[in-house]
Homo-oligomer: A and B are copies of this chain.
């Protein structure tokens, strides 16, 4: 799964859209959410004890059903695309919103890959015998009910539902209003397929009303929901942080850096920097700030500048960078620390690694930070002293990813320090309970 940050959709846009209210039963948003939450909560206990075989059967059914419903899903998507319009400034977003038969096949394929992953529920961790004879350890259990609030890409509906189901969690999905018809169509297919395969009602819950007040109420429903995962832009993060009484694991922005040290392999460094910036610039793990040791600034930046320019990258440089690369734009203050998510790169020449690490501490977002060097002790010091969800030596920041790290599919990249940090795989969608096998032990 790609881990894109989708910043541009204001989440209160919903108000401007036409809302389809069912004609027969005009249920208030409050009642609507209350029913949904109760059904979801009630599904948590039966879902948590399903076997991997049960869950896999349902996932297979969901994948098949998606493919079979291609036509209906594309029709719904067409409606979203029409509402979205063809503003050329939002062409990238429109592209993310757009579904094709291939993309629907891709969603089904993704679900089948989740079938192949190990079910983490029930795994034992660290059992040991205590001096009093009792055996104690942890067993992985589902978190419970997870609310996922996301923007733009409709495939998240299928991915998130499948990951939650496989890990025994009820999901409550709330997609962006711009994709509401596509998401509703996809969710309907998934819910029906899961239900026909014996999954309890409510295990996959989808909020098909775009009203913003429903999000705010959801965020206060700590009696029903155990975790909120927001995936999206700054305004969504702010809304969730400010309003949630439920624990939150954020998938927030990435302002990622590479520091090219004085004795890096410069040819390798060029390949890595170009890859990190260019391979998929709209993702949260792409390179936004490059820091270069002053002693190699000229040798390294002249050919790199050429390669980046050829790849269409706009460079915004500090004064020393601009001396070496006269075509670069002078960086403004806010260019350092900015998540461009596009073919733009801020470059700064630094006097040593400590200045680079200070820059990262000041401007970074603790997402992904990489040093390129052949100096052993500096490599280890960078790994130890820099704080981020992933720190790297001689590797592209783009590699901070669930597949690349061997987790299989991921829910996204967590920027929260607690519980799960970095790529969030199936195991991170579980928590644990202590289990004690006793034989009459009491507290002395």
A-B residue pairs, 8 tightest by C-beta: A395-B438, A398-B443, A275-B442, A390-B434, A392-B436, A419-B419, A394-B438, A418-B419
Asked if residues A143 and B431 are in contact (CB atoms below 8 Å), the reply is no
Q: Is A265 an interface residue (CB 8 A)?
A: yes
Q: Which chain B residues lie closer than 8 Å to A143 at the CB level? A: 417-418
Interface size class of A (residues with CB under 8 A): 35 or more
Bound complex: CA A412 to CA B405 (Å): 33
Would you call A388 an interface residue if the criterion is a C-beta within 8 Å of the partner chain's C-beta atoms? yes
Q: Which residue of chain B has its CB nearest to the CB of A222?
A: B241
A308 within 8 A of B: no
Which A residues from 366 to 407 make CB contacts under 8 A with B? Answer: 370, 383-385, 387-396, 398-401, 404-406
Contacts A245-B242, A392-B436, A435-B390 given: A279-B442 contact, CB under 8 Å? yes
- The verdict on A152 contacting chain B, using a C-beta distance below 8 Å, is no
B404 touches A45 (CB 8 A): no
What are 10 pairs between A and B in contact, CB < 8 Å?
Answer: A45-B387, A128-B406, A136-B404, A136-B405, A241-B245, A370-B438, A396-B441, A399-B442, A400-B436, A405-B434
CA distance A36 to B152 in the complex (A): 41
In the complex, residue of chain B having the shortest beta-carbon distance to the beta carbon of A385: B49
In the bound complex, how far is the Cα of B442 from the Cα of A280, in angstroms? 12
Complex alpha-carbon distance, A279 and B49, angstroms: 34
A338 to chain B, nearest CB (A): 18
Binary interface encoding of chain A residues 158-200 relative to chain B, with 1 for a CB under 8 A from any of its CBs, else 0: 0000000000000000000000000000000000000000000
- A399-B436, A434-B422 known; A272 vs B392 contact (CB < 8 Å): no
Known: A272-B442, A419-B418. A383 touches B435 (CB 8 A): yes
Cβ-neighbour of A394 out of B48, B418, B433, B440 (below 8 A):
B440
Residues 411-435 of A at the B interface (beta carbon under 8 Å): 416-419, 421-423, 431-435
The answer to whether B136 and A436 touch across the interface, beta carbons within 8 angstroms, is no
Q: Is A437 an interface residue (CB 8 A)?
A: yes
Q: Please, how many angstroms separate the alpha-carbon atoms of A258 and B243 in the complex?
A: 37
Kindly report which residue of chain B lies nearest to residue A405, judged by CB atoms.
B136
Please name all residues of chain B whose beta carbon is closer than 8 Å to the beta carbon of A383 when the two chains form the complex. 139, 435
A265 to B439: give the CA distance in the assembly, Å: 10
B432–A398 contact, CB under 8 A?
no
Encode contact with B along A92-114: 1 for CB under 8 Å, 0 otherwise: 00000000000000000000000
Q: Which of A53-108 contact B (CB under 8 A)?
A: none
Q: Which of A128-157 contact B (CB under 8 A)?
A: 128, 130, 132, 134, 136, 139, 141, 143-144
Q: Report whether B434 and A400 are in contact in the complex, using a CB–CB cutoff of 8 Å.
A: yes
Let me know if A268 is at the binding interface, CB within 8 A. Answer: yes
Which chain B residues lie closer than 8 Å to A272 at the CB level? 440, 442
A186 to chain B, nearest CB (A): 28
B422/A391 in contact, CB under 8 A: no
Report if A443-B279 is in contact (Cβ < 8 Å); known contacts: A406-B128, A417-B431, A419-B418: yes
